[in-house]
Structure 1
Amino acid sequence: MKKSIPIKDINSIYFAGAGDQNIKFIEKQFKSNMVLRGNQLLVDGDKEEIKIIEKLVNNIVSVISRKESIDISDIEILINSQSSINNAIDDSINESIILHTHKSPIYAKTKGQREYHHAVLKNDIVFAIGPAGTGKTYQAVASAVSALKNQAVQRIVITRPAVEAGEHLGFLPGDLKDKVDPYLTPLYDALNDMLPKDKLKKYMDNGQIEIAPLAYMRGRTLHNSFIILDEAQNATQMQMKMFLTRIGVTSKAIITGDITQIDLVGNGMSGLIHASNILKKIKGIKFIKFNENDVIRHQLVKNIIKAYSKEEK
């Protein structure tokens, strides 16, 4: 069966993607052949499969209409939703916008990410636990920048345990920035995605955005702040307690980590695992668990994580 599916109300260039990468990706997921001619997608294949492709095309168009772009990870989410007997397809395209940036909106793409976003809005402390590539850190930073821009908080404090240096930063050469920058690069990368360079520099120069190792949090109380502890699986129990008790009035905190990637030396339990055992029943604290279905990286990463999870069980 052959059918011409119209690409309505958008520029078909956005639908096709650079070098027709979106169409090539869609074609790999189905048995049907596809060719884009102007604003018409010509499909040759099974009648039932064409019905699924037509619905997918309409949903892709809906996403592009709302956010003016789409990437392969978005399309993959739509396809996966449809393959599960079209369940929750509308949820996939009605993403929650977390932050409008100078580049494009940042939004929760998967079910887990949407739960994460809603948890941050409703709770003062949120733990986000799961494998790499699920957007735990990136989304946390986006939520913090949104809160700062909306004047819900006065500053952002982002921290990580510098495990590779054993937190003995005093023995490393240079000033504080020289010592900790290698461990905090992913956080700078996220901020650079979300804020223009001049604005980010201004925020950091006046102390509205601060990035520091976990060891430098001791003895402080952080009021009116959005605080993020990243790579929390590498915090000790004492460090986790110290971090959580820094939270002051009208502050929020997100703690992110992957309990399969613990680098702590010795036999002590990770502070993240310990916290998840003793804090989960406290009102105002929410734990979000991600899995391979929330991975937004190369499609093979999802299968790799699933394989390792089976092996570890």
Structure 2
Amino acid sequence: MNSWCSYKDVVLFTSNRINKGVVVYLTVQERKSLEISIENVKDLNELFGSQDKNIKLIEDYLNVEISTRGEIMQIEGEAESVQQTHDILVVLQELINRGHKMNTQDVISAIKMRQSDTLKSFLSLYENTLIKDAKGQSIKIKNLNQKQYVNAINSNDVVFGIGPAGTGKTFLAVVMAIAALKNGQVKKIILTRPAVEAGENLGFLPGDLQEKVNPYLRPIYDALYQILGVEHTNRLMERGVIEIAPLAYMRGRTLEDAFIILDEAQNTTNAQMKMFLTRLGYQSKMIVNGDKTQIDLPKGVESGLVHSEKILKNIKRIRFIEFSASDVVRHPVVADIIRAYEGN
């Protein structure tokens, strides 16, 4: 049983059925405390997470206190925060009951969607698996902007993902590229980014071309290794199915039957961006990702990403998806850091 405890008089009784048990609560003028009864102890353990990390995360985000007595959870805090916490715990329990193994990112997504009044769409995010990673775990979208991004990739030839680090742009682009490769939609994956720190002149770095570019493509490698595993990734690279190349090496090529990802696109010049986009061939897709707040170009040089957003928005088969700090799916403090820098 769920019950509201308040310092003011009760004005209305209502009831509702959630999951396996009946939830009964009091609607009051000022809500301060709520008790939730969960019949399945296994669900409770899953909900709390290892060392109660999921509950601690909710407490930190919403400034509430959650305590337990057996199968009873009590939420205390300000009225709105208590209600939000209740709604989040209910939807997370339903996610667990559907067989999903919950992690910290799921909790963060639920919190943010409740705060933006989009929690009703939360469970729908988990209905489809994009792909399974090297450990056999399902990879699914985490928020509504990621859903728009994936849908845009499926229905357009060129997609721009613009927003801060940690929003999943690069990872999802790699996921979609591997899915397209496995489904036979493309024959190869091409990954590139401008090596601004070296001025696109990589000659002084030791090793062959791949070794020269590797330091600049670490996030893409991490995504590949998570999805395919290290050995499988290396085999595909040896066969040329996955190609890693600096942006300067795209010049003069026509890229057909390929899934091409340009990362850190904010550090391209206008000329580089034009050169890259005009490499698109038949049966190919291009994904262009970047963060307009992290431009490392010399002073006075316009970012090719910024310029392309101005002139390409109305072209058919090209789509721009904007991410914000609220879409960050890394450690919770990352979103706070981004907001702090945006405010100065």
Picking from 200, 205, 216, the partner of 2:249 is 216
How do 1:12-161 residues align onto structure 2 when only pairs under 5 Å count? 12-28=44-60, 29-35=62-68, 37=70, 40-43=71-74, 45=76, 52-66=84-98, 68-84=100-116, 87-95=117-125, 97-103=129-135, 104-161=137-194
For 1:264 and 1:36, how far apart are their aligned partners in 2? 57
Single out whichever of 144-153 and 10-19 deviates more from structure 2.
10-19
Q: For 2:176 and 2:38, how far apart are their aligned partners in 1?
A: 37
Pick which of 100-109 and 224-233 moved more.
100-109
- CA deviation string 1:223-264 (max 9, x = no partner): 111000000011111111111111111100100001111111
By relative contact order (CA 8 Å, sep 6+), the higher-ranking structure is: 1
The answer on 1:284 being equivalent to 2:314 is no
Partners of 1:127 and 1:288 within 8 A in 2? yes
Residue type of the alignment partner of 2:114: Q
CA change 1:169–1:302 in 2 (3 A) is same
The structure-2 alpha-carbon separation of the partners of 1:171 and 1:121, relative to structure 1 and needing over 3 Å to count, comes to same
Q: 1:5 aligns with which of 29, 34, 37?
A: 37
Q: Secondary structure at the match of 2:215?
A: helix
| Larger mean Cα displacement after TM superposition, 10-19 or 197-206 | 10-19
Deviation at 1:284, TM superposition (A): 0.2
| 1:173 corresponds to | 206
Q: TM-score, normalised by structure 2?
A: 0.82
Q: Tell me, in whole angstroms, the C-alpha distance in 2 between the residues paired with 1:67 and 1:139.
A: 23
Give the helix-richer structure, 1 or 2. Answer: 1
Structure 2 unaligned regions, length at least 5: 6-33
Greater Cα offset, 92-101 or 261-270: 92-101
Tell me how far 1:57 sits from its aligned partner.
2.2
Deviation of the 1:290 alpha carbon: 1.0
1:262 aligns to what SS in structure 2? Answer: coil
Partner SS, residue 159 of structure 2: strand
Per the normalisation by structure 1, the TM-score is 0.89
Contact 1:116/1:128, CA 8 A, preserved across alignment: yes
How far residue 298 of structure 1 moved from its aligned partner, in angstroms, is 2.7
Over 3 Å counting, the alpha-carbon distance change for 1:262 and 1:65 in structure 2 is same
Closer/same/farther in 2, CA of residues 65 and 152 from structure 1, 3 Å limit? farther
Asked if residue 187 in structure 1 is aligned to residue 220 in structure 2, the reply is yes
CA distance in 2, matches of 1:179, 1:190: 19
Query: Given that residues 43 and 50 in structure 1 are in contact (C-alpha distance below 8 angstroms), is that contact kept between their aligned partners in structure 2?
Result: no
| 2:277 maps to which of 236, 241, 244 | 244
* Letter matched to residue 175 of structure 1: D
Q: Residues 46, 237 of structure 1: CA spacing in aligned structure 2 closer, same or farther, 3 A cutoff? A: closer
TM-aligned CA distance change 1:58 to 1:161, over 3 Å: same
Two-structure CA RMSD over aligned residues (Å): 2.3
Question: In the alignment, residue 154 of structure 1 is paired with which amino acid?
Answer: K
Q: Deviations over 1:11-49 (max 9, x none)?
A: 444322122211222333353432273xx3422547966
Q: Distance in 2 between matches of 1:65 and 1:296?
A: 23
What is the CA deviation profile of residues 273-298 of structure 1, one whole-angstrom value per residue up to 9, with x for unaligned ones? 11111111100000111111111123
SS at match of 1:228: strand
**Residue 38 of structure 2 aligns to which amino acid in structure 1?**
P
Q: Assess if the C-alpha contact under 8 Å between 2:38 and 2:44 holds in 1.
A: no
Deviations 1:78-106 (A, max 9, x none): 1233344xx32131221153322233222
For structure 1, list consecutive stretches of 5 or more residues without a partner in the other structure. Answer: none
Q: Which of structures 1 and 2 has the bigger CA Rg? A: 2
The CA distance in 2 between the partners of 1:12 and 1:150, in whole Å, is: 39
Distance 1:197 1:209 in 2: 13
Moved more, 179-188 or 63-72: 63-72
* Segment of structure 1 superposing worse, 231-240 or 22-31: 22-31
